Amino acid sequence: MELQEALARLSELQRKQYAYNAASSALFLDSVTVAPRDTAEGRGVALGILAGEQHKLFANEEVGKLLDFLAERKEELPLSQRRQAEELKRSYDQLRRIPAEEYMAYTMLTNEASDVWHRAKERSDFSLFQPVLEKLVAFNQKFAGYYDSTKAPYDALLNEYERGTDMAYLDKFFAALRERIVPVIRAIGEKEQPDDSFLHQCYPIEGQKKLSDYLMEVMGLDRAHCGIGETEHPFTLDFNNKDVRITTNYDEHNLSFSMYSVIHEGGHARHALGVSDELQYTCLTGASMGVCESQSRFYENYIGRSLPFVEAVFPKLRELFPEQLKNVTAEQFYRAVNKAQPSLIRTEADELTYPLHIMVRYEIEKQLIGGTLAVKDVPETWNRLYKEYLGVDVPDDRRGCLQDSHWSGGSFGYFPSYALGSAYGAQMLRNMEADMDVWGSVGRGDLSGVTAWLREKVQRYGGLLEPADLVENACGAFDQSVYADYLVEKYSALYGL
């Protein structure tokens, strides 16, 4: 085989993988946005077959030979193709260890699980979800062995979401963070809280939709390339760097929920749109989960919850909701959307208490996958940890262990990447501040400089660099204390500590 021919086959393989992914994603998007309720069965069949075909396309001898050939000639390959071959080889070796029937059964299970989880959450009844969750945990314990049998199962799963992280690393990361933020949370508990009741007046959905349009415009999201839909749980799906979809969820009595969901998912969209053209239709379009979250949380928190940003968008908020906000100032709005208070729902948590929500999930996953916690005991453990970490009583499963969709999608080991992403983002902010007048432009409602910086330093690379290298390339060696410093400074100033 000639090298040129091998590279052509490498490209063709990835384009076919892209096509299967695009088809599965379109079915998924349909299922959570517009598909009628009782239509999951047929889609499950289609998804199962697509997954099977994708497995056949990839996990065969020919591909193995191609990847071995490229591995031998890797010194001659340009960086992008070398990384593609490396990543594919890694997935290939993993996938070859997963029997096709198990892979297909798992895909069908996650499709079913999403449905069951929705129903269980609606009825706030964990027992409905329990049997499916048991199967999902068992699959993941088994798959962890296929991924890397030299690692503890949960370490193998963590490594899938953020290469290089494991329990030893995260135990330290979370302990150090907790040590810095828990005293601040306690001190805030003694202080008077800002009034945020105005956020919970009636905000008609029509007005909120206009706000979404406006926020997407401020973020420079071209609607010809980025659509918005509505789902129970907001998310972003990117087909390629010219076709990205975000979703949100409107609550008439909670203005900030959708507002910040749109900015968060818009951040994911910016990331996907920022990946360079050369990486399209390859396996390198996506970065690690932590790096992805660093981008979404950058826009949501570091920019979106800053005073200059709130001041910049406040006139529009006033225009859309003149009655509701007539006696509110930008400063009061800023304080309200940064109110720090231990609460029940992760996606509604403030920046300061947010990492504690992650720590609860991390502890539970660690024990579930490690086999020291039975699935039936999840609600009890969840409620106990919420009391211990956040001091709140969980009234029901809907607002407890059934609140997130991740486990129903088979994602165990994903949650820590939210906290890591925030920590990466804090360091990016410090570096960005050294390079440009961030707050001057954000205060004018101009995010183009912020986006250009992130695109240049982070987004365009997609998965070309490993997460640790990408962070180091953008900001120097990763230093988690920057994140803790940021939180302590911000909330000390907000609450006059």
Residues within the interface to Zn ion (CB under 5 A): 296
192 among known catalytic residues: no
CB of 166 to Zn ion, least distance (A): 22
| Closer CB to Zn ion, 282 or 296, in the complex | 296
Placement of tokens 């975000």 in the chain: 246
207 near 320, Cβ under 8 Å?
Answer: yes
Contact of 415 with 365, CB cutoff 8 Å: yes
| Nearest in space to 355 (alpha carbons), one of 178, 95, 126, 98 | 178
Question: What is the distance between the alpha carbons of residues 30 and 292, in angstroms, rounded to a whole number?
Answer: 23
Residues 310 and 329: their CA atoms lie apart, in Å, by 10
170 Cβ neighbours under 8 A, 6+ residues apart: 158, 362, 416
CB of 265 vs Zn ion, minimal distance in Å: 7
Choose, from 160, 265, 365, 466, the residue flagged as catalytic: 265
3-state secondary structure of 362: helix
Burial group, residue 285, by CB count within 10 angstroms (0-12, 13-18, 19+): buried
C-beta nearest to Zn ion: residue: 296
- In the bound state with Zn ion, the residue whose beta carbon lies nearer, of 318 and 346, is 346
Of 93 and 348, which has the nearer Cβ to Zn ion?
Answer: 348
Give min distance, CB of 487 to Zn ion, in A: 19
- Shortest spacing between CB 296 and Zn ion, in angstroms: 4
Instruction: For Zn ion, give the closer residue by CB, 293 or 397.
Output: 293
If the CB atoms of residues 229 and 445 are measured against Zn ion, the closer one turns out to be: 229
Q: How far is the CB of 454 from Zn ion (least distance, A)?
A: 15
DSSP 3-state assignment of 236? strand
How close are the terminal C-alpha atoms of the chain, in Å? 68
Q: Is 167 exposed, middle or buried (0-12, 13-18, 19+ CB in 10 A)?
A: middle
Catalytic residue numbers, as ranges: 265
